[in-house]
């Protein structure tokens, strides 16, 4: 009911988007009903982390009163989501798991809304509608949105940060950048992956600053100073509080761990289980990081490969990997357009930064499928040349000579 009301008031004059958001809502609700009341044994619907979140939430619920739960300070990382679950249990009882799923569905639907707005600003309304349709029915986004795990909240706040970064890029109002950093910070509080987006955007704008100094573009240099300053303050706050940094050591972790220590911690051979990949591949030096990163990224994004399949359910994973191949092929085809726009290149740096981080943190394709789903909204927004979107981009932006040239090139 809440989702229907929010969809209605946020799409009052946009009936096409309203229909797409209803499709997203119905798809996620249908899967939740199947999992809760019809058959709960399907793989991918019962993520291993769900039971861990549930167990932690029950411990919080039994350990703290409601007054204690709603009083700061709050934990961060995976325990923050369980803490949120415990608050809901304090209000409604521990049997109301479906309320938690419903909240995940609500945020999952508005991930689609955020991605629509990002695509509309970057490209055109028609491209944005097609992107919204893809995200509304993208299989594993639907699956993980209805599971009692943190994915929906992580991705919602991440896309909120991306959306306000795009707003800032167009309107150059610093408060948009502050909201963007706030969105990324909330996402990072739940999962460290979004932190890499902030680090990537700082690296990108520092690179632009060097270019601006060499070419004398003072206005571009001023924008760079604003971005690096505001994002840097956000990173400083996260580092001093330790929010979301438990994976690398918590409070003060940024800048405190050594390169060799980090490589050994994240690059060791930790692969176990049937779905493990790259077994025996460990990293002990920066040279290993250099040559292993592309390999790990390929396995993270596109596994399972056909030779890795050992169960009939791996067909689902193979289908998922084919979708990612299509999307990243679309990004590759769109590179000539992306390179012409600093704003789009900033988003591409965010995507690459998060992909590298996840590629080094994931050790099997089951986990990879869940983590790479976090990247899909941003990846879709950067891939306007996925067929059949090429014609839409050409028709909407044909007056811009660069688009005309690349569209003709792709068609030829």
Round to whole Å and give the CA distance between 114 and 160: 6
Residue bearing the bigger pLDDT, 209 or 353: 353
**Token pair of 261 as six digits:** 């220590």
Residue bearing the bigger pLDDT, 391 or 381: 381
H helices of 172-246, where?
Answer: 174-190, 193-215, 218-241
Residues 277 and 408 in one domain: yes
Residues 284 and 319 in one domain: yes
**Which among 384, 405, 392 has a CA at the least distance from the CA of 331?**
384
Residue 34 has pLDDT above 60, yes or no: yes
Least confident range from 13-22, 73-82, 121-130: namely: 73-82
Round to whole Å and give the CA distance between 41 and 35: 8
Which of 257, 275, 301 finishes a domain? Answer: 257
Which of 209, 233, 257 finishes a domain? Answer: 257
Assess if residue 8 is contained within a domain.
Answer: no
**Token pair of 108 as six digits:** 């999952």
Residues 281 and 241 in one domain: no
**Token pair of 263 as six digits:** 């490589």
Residue 191 has pLDDT above 80, yes or no: yes
Residue-wise pLDDT tens digits, 149-171: 889 999 999 999 999 999 998 88
Q: Model confidence at 42, in pLDDT bands (50, 70, 90)?
A: low
Residue 142 has pLDDT above 60, yes or no: yes
Q: Model confidence at 11, in pLDDT bands (50, 70, 90)?
A: confident
**Which among 114, 102, 194, 199 has a CA at the least distance from the CA of 160?**
114
Location of structure tokens 């982390």: 49
Count of the separate structural domains present in the chain: 2
Q: Model confidence at 179, in pLDDT bands (50, 70, 90)?
A: very high
Round to whole Å and give the CA distance between 345 and 382: 9
pLDDT of 375: 95
Least confident range from 192-201, 207-216, 284-293, 322-331: namely: 207-216
What's the whole-model pTM score? 0.85
Residue 404 has pLDDT above 80, yes or no: no
Q: How many other CB atoms sit within 10 Å of the CB of residue 92?
A: 13
Q: Model confidence at 131, in pLDDT bands (50, 70, 90)?
A: very high
Round to whole Å and give the CA distance between 66 and 86: 9
Query: Do 157 and 149 meet the contact criterion of CB atoms below 8 Å apart?
Result: no
Which of 204, 239, 257 finishes a domain? Answer: 257
Residues 203 and 341 in one domain: no
Round to whole Å and give the CA distance between 347 and 378: 8
Domain range for 301 is 259-412
DSSP 276: B
Residues 253 and 316 in one domain: no
Residues 252 and 283 in one domain: no
Residues 271 and 394 in one domain: yes
Those residues with Cβ within 8 angstroms of residue 359's Cβ, 6 or more apart along the chain or in another chain: 293, 296, 297, 299, 300, 301
Average pLDDT, the chain: 81
Backbone angles phi, psi at 276, to 5 degrees: -65, 150
Residue 184 has pLDDT above 80, yes or no: yes
pLDDT of 114: 96
pLDDT of 261: 47
**Which among 285, 251, 245, 291 has a CA at the least distance from the CA of 268?**
285
When pLDDT is averaged across residues 278-299 and rounded to a whole number, the result is 83
Residue-wise pLDDT tens digits, 65-119: 989 998 888 887 778 899 999 999 998 887 767 888 899 999 999 999 999 999 9
pLDDT of 21: 95
Assess if residue 144 is contained within a domain.
Answer: no
Backbone angles phi, psi at 364, to 5 degrees: -150, 155
């Amino acid at each position: 009911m809440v989702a229907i009301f929010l969809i209605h008031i946020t799409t009052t004059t946009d009936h096409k988007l309203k229909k797409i958001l209803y499709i997203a809502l119905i798809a996620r609700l249908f899967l939740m009903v199947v999992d809760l009341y019809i058959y709960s044994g399907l793989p991918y619907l019962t993520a291993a982390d769900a039971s861990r979140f549930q167990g932690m939430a029950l411990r919080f619920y039994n350990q703290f009163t409601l007054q204690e739960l709603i009083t700061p300070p709050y934990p961060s990382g995976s325990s923050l989501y369980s803490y949120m679950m415990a608050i809901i249990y304090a209000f409604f009882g521990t049997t109301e798991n479906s309320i938690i799923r419903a909240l995940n569905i609500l945020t999952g639907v508005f991930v689609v809304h955020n991605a629509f707005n990002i695509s509309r600003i970057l490209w055109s309304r028609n491209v944005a509608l097609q992107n919204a349709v893809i995200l509304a029915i993208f299989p594993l986004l639907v699956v993980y949105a209805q599971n009692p795990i943190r994915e929906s909240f992580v991705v919602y706040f991440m896309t909120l940060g991306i959306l306000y970064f795009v707003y800032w890029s167009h309107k150059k109002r610093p408060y948009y950048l502050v909201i963007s950093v706030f969105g990324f910070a909330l996402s990072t509080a739940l999962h460290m992956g979004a932190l890499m987006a902030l680090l990537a955007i700082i690296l990108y704008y520092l690179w632009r600053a060097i270019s601006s100094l060499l070419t004398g573009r003072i206005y571009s240099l001023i924008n760079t100073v604003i971005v690096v300053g505001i994002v840097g303050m956000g990173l400083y706050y996260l580092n001093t509080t330790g929010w979301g940094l438990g994976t690398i050591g918590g409070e003060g972790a940024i800048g405190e761990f050594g390169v060799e220590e980090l490589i050994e911690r994240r690059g060791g051979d930790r692969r176990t289980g049937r779905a493990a990949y790259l077994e025996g591949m460990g990293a002990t030096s920066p040279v290993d990081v250099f040559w292993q990163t592309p390999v790990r990224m390929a396995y993270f994004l596109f596994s399972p490969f056909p030779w890795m399949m050992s169960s009939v359910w791996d067909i689902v994973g193979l289908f998922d990997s084919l979708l990612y191949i299509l999307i990243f092929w679309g990004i590759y085809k769109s590179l000539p357009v992306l390179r012409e726009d600093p704003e789009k290149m900033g988003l591409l740096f965010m995507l690459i930064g998060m992909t590298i981080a996840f590629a080094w943190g994931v050790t099997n394709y089951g986990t990879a499928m869940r983590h790479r789903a976090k990247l899909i909204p941003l990846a879709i927004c950067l891939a306007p040349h996925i067929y059949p979107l090429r014609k839409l981009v050409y028709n909407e932006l044909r007056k811009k000579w660069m688009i005309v040239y690349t569209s003709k090139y792709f068609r030829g």
